[in-house]
Chains A and B, each alone.
Chain A
């Protein structure tokens, strides 16, 4: 006979406003083996927890069920409370009567109450047969993997490394720096973007705790918090670290390719340095454009290389590393250009996006900082900026606000005026969202001091007339149709996650939201954690955000990772599979089923064995075991059968 105590939480009126908590207590008190039942306003509060602690002691309870919110919220809270009263933490379960009853059946209080009772019965049946378990201690690999070398990844890597732990920073492209390296100036201070970023890039390269792997991608992740095994694919760049970036190879290379760093507004060679301040400072051969890594075909770069750094025999390789924590900072891209038909982007060369305009503004850009339009190289005298391009448009494009466009468009308009004093700039906007320190003042300055015309309304169409770009829009404040002849149109295109983000999320088993941004564990309280322990997120891969917010989030993710790396040891969930070797027939079905390699066959006993540290407790093997020899601790077949019956009893 078990002695189960049931504690029903009101959660203020969140539960009690719908569910009749008195009735729940009355009914569940009659359920077999329930020896104590009570309700209280806030079970998670100190007095609430004390009710549980005292009842365990006074009523000699050997099992506890708390009917409250989701176990994802407070399971740990109540298990800790039970432990304080001397009850094994695995003898405590929750019944989710808030998220899965009161909140979703608000208009049917009687049925919600009935469901709450059934949910409680299910949990009582589970806890009755829960074994007392103890977590297994596992050592921690004191090393962190950071995926993505933009400002988010750079900041996270530096913070973890400064805390004294090894970091492996993996970046897909040949240099770290990300989009921030492409920007001209940053709002609202107009600091030169590269000037504030490059010291951090150099710090990464020089940091004794950071191992930088550029031109590399994470291709496989196994293991669990504290003990991840990661496979990194290092692409061959065909130039060794002996490269002294003299640039002679580039001079002789006969192949011209589009320069991605300049958003294809300028050419580069097949052997190239992405940009002058690239880290690592080392050339890369782009094999998609190179005539062939073969001295018989071309071989010019190899001929002129004095330090003999060009090596055509270099091979791609897979590197395996062990890490304890992972930070994902894979960044963003702008909405694909070929998908915005009405603005003629990708059709007319004089319709460009925000990052292309950044390159035009940048002193290191294709024009050396001179603003000229791509079609004929003339200085544009009228520029139209279109905000919310593909953002805030749930019918056709992305439903969300891309957050930084109001600010960078104001900056673009202001910088344009600084470059072209007699030019005119027009900004089409829906609303101005300038929430941030000194942001509102910055937009005001653009409007008032720089005399930029802001037109409130959406643009319906952009098309060519002669050598002008015609912009059709509306001014919703005057209610009039607007036609503007511009020389250049700049689109503040929506910020979208890189397609690779989804790939990385799949590898790590972390969820993404409906727009494919990485999803945090809790939107308010766990903004850098994910549902997978030991995996943290930061930067624009999580959602559109500006540089200060990205840096703050990166530092947050780093401190979370350091929390894992600095612990003495970690504890592994003991709710794993176990084998009854007397019943095991040695068929080995489970061995092939286990995705973690946790089950092995013992040739001597002709039975299988479960490695409890590798077992993640999914139970797939248990469901497949034909003899019932495998058992999932605290979720046995017997428990589930009882739970099913409890779910179906009553409520007729």
Chain B
């Protein structure tokens, strides 16, 4: 049954991804789509109101500068709304201003598509903040990711070109043609399944035992939809997708998991269409799928096997159920954990802190690999394309030619940028965690001693720099140290990749393409798929092995020896 559930999920995912990918290719190539009659006038109106000129394309520097300014302003807006929420409307619980460090952290978090939440939603944020600041950024950050990958795709597809597209147009079209329609449909489905959508004050109800309980309310469904589709992951409630109002039924659980990966998976199809060779996209999709299946397998196996000490004590079933929603069980929780960390989503339906060490290692490793196993909306594919460039370079040399991808030579500039794109997030994770492990401010927040505490720190910085946003919990992250350190990690992890990626887009666009011949290294073969997956794994594993050895690896070995933390 469990196995079937995982297979069913993957089949559904691919069935949805292919048509969506094809549709997105039409959207970004500027071809006609069935939504044009409604959206075209709206698009034109938006450009007129915003006063932007979309007639002229941008070179990579202009594209990057526009993107940076736009995102910076978005972050400032989120910060200000949080600070002023006490005097703003839609605040039935009368929450006061969010403290500056937390507001900074949250603003960075939602602008970078991380959605790390150092706060509990139902006890901190007003409805206005949730809707006007957070949900809006859920759309904008996801659209930014799509825009970057579309720009990179154009850079790879074009020949001897100076420009890579228009940021305003890519951003607007991602929202209007992709994110909004999908969210609208998905939110309605969620409401039909019982996800709440209201602006009422919290309810106080009497439980069956006669106790009194406060039920948090709010416009959940609308935020839930984009939280997943945009791989944002910031839950309306603290319990995120383990909360019955966010994820009420097995059907919503399945749909939510599909929603997380559908756009990242579909973008590989879009990529194939836009570069004029669908198999190029499929090869990347296959590599992602391969890594994903490996990850699910390990998490599921480890959770299934559970903790032998608990088993002998007889306090729980044979498997590791602690920290999991009993409604979902092992398979579904393992799958959700893998899905959410594969994509840089970070929505959770189980407590990752309670996963077995090995089961928790995989989500962490997936983030450390650079969020490229499907990955975040847009960011997953552009991250993977950076690995494609690395793979082509290392492996391509072995066929005796200057490495090339899609007929374009990989030269010094691309290598410089690709190396930076891998190095910057890795450095952020390692240096951040190192700083936290070495300082009082860092270690004071740890709730669990020993290697598990180290895992918690590593996970936090990986989650921040990888723009995932899920947490190992078990770490009190709402302190000035972590709010600022993680906020910075998110910003560096986001733009430290986006800028090199756009630079690659620019330099690749300017190149000529060599037609493929028998001496060309094929990037559509199964061999390439395997190599790409291997390079992703090896680079990630080599970078983080020492740190992981002292965290989850040793913890798993200790657990098997009968010690727990």
Query: Are A and B physically bound partners?
Result: no
